[in-house]
Structure 1
Amino acid sequence: MSEKVKEVAAEELHQAKVIAVDAVRSGAYLYPLKGIYYFATHKALWKPLLNKLLPTASLGVGVTALMFAVTYVPQAAVLTLVNGPLAILTTVLLVLSESSTIFSVLSKNFLIDDALIDTFDGTLMTRNLTTLVATDRQIKSSSDPIARMGKIARKPFERFTPKAIIRYFLYLPLNMIPIVGTVMFVILQGKRFGPTAHARYFQLKQMKKREREEFISARKAAYTSFGVPAVLLEFIPLVGIFFTFTNTVGAALWAADMEGKSGKSADTTAPNLRHQAELAKKSE
């Protein structure tokens, strides 16, 4: 039995190393940072954020303040039993995570969903991917990438499903494990966040459900490495709304680079993805 345990542990460790190496090689973890710089240097992309800044900032401040006022003390008391002095830090991270989740649900469903779509599409337009954007929205004549975009056919951002909410609360107890538990919690959140950031890209590429699954499966490590820093940025109180938009820009830049590497913006989906998925399965 002990030999079996060692064998399984060795296999899991090897798999973790492979995923970590793939994540580093992908460079996807840099795109949230690239999104910040690109957003800051392209003023045309500021319009969707500025139009929604006041209501979303008010919502973010309100949710964060309420969560700290109501939930910090009782959660700190519980975490102190298992984390000791580290409970101060882990509780702050936990409350920020909870606040971020609540804010994300409310804002993306009721306030900024259209603005994020415009930001994503506008970023693609600045990268000369007008043909890709035109697959799902009208394109007007203008030098301003945001002003060029007309009506969209569909809204791609998925609303928070009951399964996603249940999964989030199932992960919360991980924060009771000092340091390691909190790191695991953030990684799991990042793993979920990564593919969600490309929901608009999948729609513009007109991917079917199976094609999306293959695409994500072939890039599991990359999507997680993108999601972790993106989640951490959105955890930051008050300015989290700003990073929601810069993460969207970063996701669009990553999508644009994918299109550039493929060499064909109109037909890059099924054959390549199946091949990549097969290679991924062989390597497991």
Structure 2
Amino acid sequence: MPNQLINQAQEVAKEDLDKYKALLNDAAKSRSYLYPIKGIFYFLSHRELWKPLASKLVPYIGLYASVVGPMFLFTYLPQLAIMVFVNGPLAVFTTLLLVLNESAAIVSIISRSFLLQDALLDTFDGTLIAQNQSEIVANGREVKSGGDSIQRLGKALKQPFSRFSVKELVRYFMYLPLNFIPVVGTVAFIVIRGRARGDSVHDRYFQLKGWSDSRKSEWLAKHKGAYTGFGTVATLLEMIPVASIVFSFTNTVGAALWAADIEAKDTEMTKATAPELQEAANKVE
């Protein structure tokens, strides 16, 4: 019986490993992981996109300080006691990084749901306008005729970004112990977070296209590797303490650049936004 259980466990582990290999292979082929990097350079070269970030810097720093202090006060020593068994003398430094990353994750979840929501929305829409996609932006907000890409943004008619999710916070801490497993555990933790992060990067784009939840879920399932690739790189950038707010905005720019490329190249995704026409074509055939 014990041997049978061991064999079953090995089989399950092999199946999961094969799934993640296939997922990472799809992510590499899609090259979607490059968009967070493109977002950084595009953001730096377009000063008008700095405006939403600049308006939130002071309150964000206040939020970050209010989270980091209590986290070090109440969680550093308990986690250090555990990390000593894993990392030995290096535990002092690895625990420091762990607490900083935990703090960054908490701040990111809270700030994206409340503090930064409108600013990130403006950044996404502004990037689309800068990429000559004002027509699609007009599906979700008023678009003015003059000024730079941010000045052209009028009143938002739809708000796609989700509010605070307790499940997201619980899921983060549920998988956090993976970091206690050297290398492999940390990689698994980042990929799991990246997959979840990727599922939300085009929420605004799907809304502007008028997609239903079922159609969005179908698309995400079909292109799981591409969104995991983007989400993993975005997660790595947003794990950097303090600078995470900047990367939240550059990742948003990267997601908008990706959406603009999808629109400009008239890919399968844009064709799928007219299901009635597709169904009609099938009937004719």
Task: Normalising by structure 2, report the TM-score.
Answer: 0.86
Q: Match for 1:154: what amino acid?
A: K
Partner of 1:51: 55
Q: Match for 1:177: what amino acid?
A: I
Cα displacement (A) at 1:157: 0.9
Of structures 1 and 2, the larger Rg is shown by 2
| Separation in 2, partners of 1:223, 1:75 | 32
| Separation in 2, partners of 1:263, 1:179 | 37
Partner of 1:148: 152
Once the two structures are aligned, what percentage of the paired residues are identical? 51
- Of 26-35 and 58-67, the range deviating more from structure 2: 58-67
Cα displacement (A) at 1:237: 1.6
For 1:1-284, list aligned pairs within 5 A.
11-85=15-89, 87-88=91-92, 90-262=94-266, 268-269=272-273, 271=275
Q: Match for 1:40: what amino acid?
A: L
Q: Give the length in aligned residue pairs.
A: 273
Cα displacement (A) at 1:187: 1.1
Structure 1: give runs of 5+ residues left out of the alignment.
275-284
| Separation in 2, partners of 1:253, 1:133 | 13
- Of 41-50 and 55-64, the range deviating more from structure 2: 55-64
Structure 1 residues 77-136: Cα deviation after superposition (integer angstroms, max 9, x where no partner) = 112223434534542343233212221232123321100000000000011111110001
Cα displacement (A) at 1:168: 1.7
Q: Secondary structure at the match of 1:196?
A: coil
Query: Is the 1:201–1:255 Cα contact (8 Å) retained in structure 2?
Result: yes
Cα displacement (A) at 1:140: 0.9
Cα displacement (A) at 1:264: 9.0
Inter-CA distance 218–49: structure 2 relative to 1 (3 Å threshold): same
| Separation in 1, partners of 2:9, 2:118 | 50
Q: Say what the alpha-carbon RMSD is for the aligned residues.
A: 2.5
Task: Normalising by structure 1, report the TM-score.
Answer: 0.87
Inter-CA distance 158–31: structure 2 relative to 1 (3 Å threshold): same
Q: Secondary structure at the match of 2:28?
A: helix
Structure 2: give runs of 5+ residues left out of the alignment.
279-285
Partner of 2:283: none
